[in-house]
Amino acid sequence: MKVAFYLSGEHPSLPKAEVKAVLESFNVGFRTHLDLESLLVLELDYPPGSLIEKVADRLAYTRSIGRFLAVLDPSDFPTGLKRIRPPSVGRRFRATAIRVRGCCRELRRVEVEREVGGWILRGNPHTKVDLTHPESEVVVVMTSGLLVFYLREVEVDRTSFKIKEVAARPFVHPASMRPTLARAMVNLARTREGDLVLDPFLGVGGIALEVLSIGARLIGADISEKMVIEAKNNLIAYGFLEGFELIVGDALSLELDRKVDRIVTDPPYGRMSVAVGRSPEGLVRDFVGRAPTYLKGGGWMVISVPKDHLDEGVFGESGFDVVEYFDVREHRSLTRRVWVTRLRE
C-alpha cells in the first residue's frame, strides 16, 4: 500500500526524515516511491488502518496523510484522469488542490478542483460535493512539476504544539526550543512508547514534554535547581504527574542506576549559560565523550548544537555513528545542527 505524506515546508529534509524515523520506531518497513518537495510517497509493508493514526499522532512536520492514488504530468491533465479508477468516497466529498512553491502555474487551482470533482462524480454516482463537512477528501498536491493525488486519511492535528508553544508555558526560558523541533528530535531518536529517555540539559522541560507526550519515560537533569523546579511545574501544568525523574546535577557526572534507551538533548550554547571556566563547545564535546556511560549499546542520541560547535569526528571517537544531521536556521546568529547518532553495540 502506497501512502502519501504532505509535509510542512519549514525544512527541506527534516520532515521526510521524521516520517521515516517514526515508521522505523513502529517497526514498519517501507520503500520510497516518490520524494518531491513537501511530499513523500512511501510503499509500506503493513496494512495501514489504525497505524496511520498512530503515526499521525507522533509527527510534528506533517500536515496530512492519505492513500496514494496517482501521479500525473500537468500536460496530461485532465485527460490522464480517464486512465485512473476514481476511489470510492462515500456520500460526501471534497477535492482540494494545493500548490507548492509556485508549481504548475499553467493550471488554476479551482480548475484542478473542478476537474477532479467531475472525475470522482463520474465514478461515484451516489456521492455529492460537500465543501464544509465532507466524508472524504481527494487532495491534489502540485509539486516539483507533477500532480500527486491522494485520498486523505488523517489531517495531522498540529494545535497541540501551539498550546505548548514556548511563550504559552507557565515557565519560560529564552533558550527554549520550539515544541515542533523538540518533538522531531524525539522522533529522530526512534523513540518508542515506554523507552527511557535522558535529557541531561533539561532547561524548562521543552524536550521532556515531548518525550512524555509520546508515552516514553524520562530522566531529566539540569545543573540549576531553579530550572529543575520550573521544568517540573511545566510538566505538571501539562498534566504529566508520573513517568519522570528529575535530578539537579552536572551532565558530565550524573549517577544513574541504569542505562537509558535514548538521549535527546539541547545543551546550552551561550557563554552565560555554562559554568565559569567552561566554554559551550568544550561542554558538549565532553558530554559526547561521557554519553556512552549513560546510554545502552545500540541506543540513539539526538543532540542539537550551534552548527560549528561539534564536528563529526567527536562522535566517532566516542563510539557513535552519525546517521544524519540537519541544519535548522533559527535567526541570523543561530543555526542549530541537529545530530542524529547511534552508539555502536
Ligand X SMILES: C[S@@+](CC[C@H](N)C(=O)[O-])C[C@H]1O[C@@H](n2cnc3c(N)ncnc32)[C@H](O)[C@@H]1O
Give the shortest CB-166-to-ligand X separation in angstroms. Answer: 7
Residue 239 corresponds to which cell in the numbers above?
498534566
Which of 179, 299 has the CB closer to ligand X?
A: 179
Minimum separation from the CB atom of position 226 to ligand X (A): 8
CB nearer to ligand X: give 40 or 189.
189
Least distance in Å: CB of 219 to ligand X?
A: 12
H or E, element range at 282: helix 280-290
- Of 65 and 185, CB closest to ligand X: 185
- Interface residues with ligand X (CB under 6 A)? 173, 175-177, 200-201, 203-207, 221-224, 227, 250-252, 266-268, 273-274, 283
Nearest to ligand X of 70, 166 (CB atom): 166
**Assigned C-alpha cell, 201:** 540539559
Least Å distance, CB 25 to ligand X, is 21
- Closest to ligand X by CB, 176 or 187: 176
- Min dist. Cβ of residue 277 to ligand X (A): 11
Name the residue among 198, 137, 185 with its Cα closest to residue 18: 185
Strands in 2-7's sheet, in edge-to-edge order, are: 30-36, 39-44, 2-7, 62-72, 146-155, 136-143, 92-99, 128-129
Is residue 74 within 8 Å of residue 106, measured between CB atoms? yes
Measured from the CB of residue 306, what is the shortest distance to ligand X in angstroms?
A: 11
Specify the residue, 147 or 303, whose C-beta has the smaller distance to ligand X: 303
End-to-end, the C-alpha distance of the chain in Å comes to 34
Q: Is the omega angle on the peptide bond into residue 280 within 30 degrees of 0, that is, cis? A: no
Question: What is the three-state SS of 217-240?
Answer: EEEEEECCHHHHHHHHHHHHHCCC
